[in-house]
Amino acid sequence: MLIGSSLFSVGLEIFLVPNNIIDGGIVGISIIISHLTHLPLGLFLVLLNLPFLLLGYKQIGKTFAFSTLFSVIIMSIGSTLLHPVQAITIDPLLAAVFGGIILGIGVGLVIRSGGSLDGTEIVAILFSKKSPFSVGEIVMFFNLFILGSAGFVFGWDHAMYSLIAYYIAFRMIDITIEGLDQSKSVWIISDESEQIGDAIAHRLGRGVTYLKGEGAFTGDDKKVIFSVITRLEEAKLKSIVDELDPKAFLAVGNIHDVKGGRFKKKDIH
């Protein structure tokens, strides 16, 4: 959380703020108000987040609230200390791209550690419980409104640069949370299930679980193979399945996190 919050401050004060580019959420609102009032950005980062932190403490949990408070305070201190530092670039496109990358990594690290850097996420979590919209959709609605407001304050060119920075940060958050070596779940239904399972275990070095299934149309008993692999092993697994049973049913899906079991890499052969 310390590293993530510090990186976020760098992205803000060294890239975005000097180029009049904003982020979404409470941070974006804080940048706009700071620009209009000429008061320190760090002050608004704490003040505007406090009501949402109290709400999060009551509705979500004290661990999350305290983790978020710690992250916000570090972000505020970092922003205050870095404000006098000269921007690395005055090119708004470069600032949007690299600022978005650094912001996204910072937010991702904080989220992975169990905290948050923005109060709108807390509101979105609470709203999602009583509405048909997901947390992501609610956050997106808030942020589109906030980023659109930047057009009236900084000009529409800077509002569009802000959208670029926001999108890049959004993607970097996913990469930071999930990791570059993304895991995938594999479901295979085949008459040669034991052969395929053995090949996955010995040639990919992955654990295999057999599940009992029943065909809805035929009523036949089926043995379903379940395993977890990395993205880089997907092509090899497909070649194994095609080699042993070209007619096998294969489904592959993304997994955000894997813990325990035999998820230890062995050599592919």
CA angle 149, 46, 75 (to 5 degrees): 90
Residues constituting the chain: 269
Are 99 and 167 in contact by the 8 Å Cβ rule? The answer is no
Rounded CA Rg of the chain: 24
Tokens 């029943």, residue located: 214
C-alpha to C-alpha distance for 68 and 212, rounded to whole angstroms:
44
CA of 264: how far to CAs of 205, 209, 228, 232, in Å?
A: 8, 15, 10, 14
C-alpha to C-alpha distance for 173 and 110, rounded to whole angstroms:
10
C-alpha to C-alpha distance for 207 and 260, rounded to whole angstroms:
11
Q: What is the pTM of this model?
A: 0.70
What pLDDT tens digit does each residue of the chain (269 aa) get? 999 999 999 999 999 999 999 888 888 899 999 989 989 888 999 898 888 888 777 766 778 788 888 999 999 999 999 988 898 988 999 999 999 999 999 988 988 887 888 777 777 766 766 777 666 667 777 888 888 888 888 888 988 999 999 889 888 887 787 665 568 899 999 888 999 999 998 888 888 999 988 877 777 788 899 999 877 788 889 999 999 999 999 999 887 667 666 555 555 44
